[in-house]
Structure 1
Amino acid sequence: MDIWAELAWEPSVNAIHNSVGILRLEAGECTDVIIAREVESVIESTCYLPENSIRVIVENAWVTLRGEVEWEFQRNALTQSVSSLTGILGFSNQILIRPEVRCNIAKLDIESTIKQRASHDAQDIVVEVSGGRVTLSGQVSTRAEQDLARQSAWASPGVEQVIDNLTVVNANEGHSLDM
């Protein structure tokens, strides 16, 4: 006899069958299937994600996201949205940034963005790109400029890692500030 047919005769039993087995539901308890549907709904409502770019795996209320996105903000948005869903006991973000950076273009884009957004000290920032890794070095006069340079690097598509070797130097005294 089919499992659903067996359960149909007993009205007090709520059950869902998945690859793990039969899960009996208590009032208010979430199942992997319900959690997976909620996660998929969050992903579908995120309009800036390519269709079918993220794979959802839910086992014992532990959610794992796998896939690739083009931007760091996409990965962060999914992490924040999914990890706050009700019923999740754990969360693993295995989403990768697509390593489709063309080094010369990305380097020029990052340098241009830094120079547009930062003060004249941005001329002292050296940008090096290797695959999806961006290294920033040189001197800036404030931590705000350092943050701006780091954010500008992360804003480029395909950036997987930003290494911040910038030194903050007090412009009035010429002294390096401790990080």
Structure 2
Amino acid sequence: MNDTELRQHVIDELEFEPSLDAANIGVAAERGVVTLTGHVSSYSQKVAAERATWRVEGVKAIAQEIQVRLPGDRQLADDEIARRAINILAWDDFVPKDAVKLRVASGWITLTGAVTWNYQRNAAESQVRKLSGVAGVSNDITLVPQVSSTDVRQRIVNALKRNAEVEAERIHVDVRENGVVKVDGVVDDWDERQAVERAVWSAPGVHSVDARLRIA
């Protein structure tokens, strides 16, 4: 696929995404690297644009330069955004009570605190980024390792072998004592890369993932 075809496929996918108004998004493509520019009216739409782009075959990397421009009627004071964020986190069963702290500056939410599982970390971010008035989210929640690195590695390897989307023999896993997991190797497409990362994050004790997977 040449750059012109890839660019058109990304444009088509952005226009097809129902949660996104792609009218003000620009797309450029060069050797599998897609650059997204322009602006959207919410942070959730910015995230949706990136996810839609990754779904397109041939995309190897994304330069995300989309700006969030909130309409006048959706601009809220930071204290109001903070109150809404606290309330929505309190109602989420996946987010441990009182484990996540937040601060808001000019519509940008920064999440801090510590949880045990990555799905809890992701749940907190997923909830606050869809709130009205949010311009962006920084997820600085840490994960607290609770198992040995040897056990973590074995669980990850077993998970990769069970996954029908992954060719496990092409993936190498290295677990450090501080909970950082390095995975490298070759995958066929972005879906397989995401499947590998999901398998890694599914193991308890994973603090962060250094994914160096090449799309062949």
Shift of 1:124: 4.3
Shift of 1:129: 0.4
Residues 180, 208 of structure 2: 8 Å contact kept: yes
Specify which of 119, 131, 134 is matched with residue 73 of structure 1: 119
Q: Secondary structure at the match of 1:77?
A: helix
Give the number of equivalent residue pairs: 142
CA distance in 2, matches of 1:59, 1:164: 31
Aligned to 2:179: 132
Q: Structure 1 vs Structure 2: percent identity of aligned residues? A: 30
Please, which moves more after superposition, 54-63 or 102-111?
A: 54-63
Give the TM-score, by structure 1 length: 0.63
In structure 2, relative to structure 1, the CA distance for the partners of 1:33 and 1:148 (3 Å cut) is closer
CA distance in 1, matches of 2:111, 2:175: 28
Shift of 1:82: 1.0
Q: Secondary structure at the match of 2:141?
A: strand
More helix by share: 2
In structure 2, relative to structure 1, the CA distance for the partners of 1:103 and 1:35 (3 Å cut) is same
CA distance in 2, matches of 1:85, 1:54: 17
CA distance in 2, matches of 1:43, 1:33: 15
In structure 2, relative to structure 1, the CA distance for the partners of 1:84 and 1:149 (3 Å cut) is closer
1:100 aligns with 2:146: yes
Aligned to 2:91: 45
Shift of 1:76: 2.5
Residues 101, 159 of structure 1: 8 Å contact kept: no
Shift of 1:106: 0.8
1:86 aligns with 2:126: no
Shift of 1:100: 3.3
Residue ranges of structure 1 left out of the alignment (5+ in a row)? 1-26, 169-176
Aligned to 2:162: 116
Residues 166, 192 of structure 2: 8 Å contact kept: no
Aligned to 1:149: 196
Shift of 1:46: 1.2
Residues 183, 210 of structure 2: 8 Å contact kept: yes
Give the TM-score, by structure 2 length: 0.54
Shift of 1:120: 8.7
Residue ranges of structure 2 left out of the alignment (5+ in a row)? 1-72
Residues 114, 122 of structure 1: 8 Å contact kept: yes
CA distance in 2, matches of 1:43, 1:77: 9
- Whichever residue aligns with residue 157 of structure 2, its letter is E
Per-residue CA deviation, residues 64-106 of structure 1 (Å, 9 max, x unaligned), is: 3211122333323322321232234554332122233421111
Q: Secondary structure at the match of 2:140?
A: strand
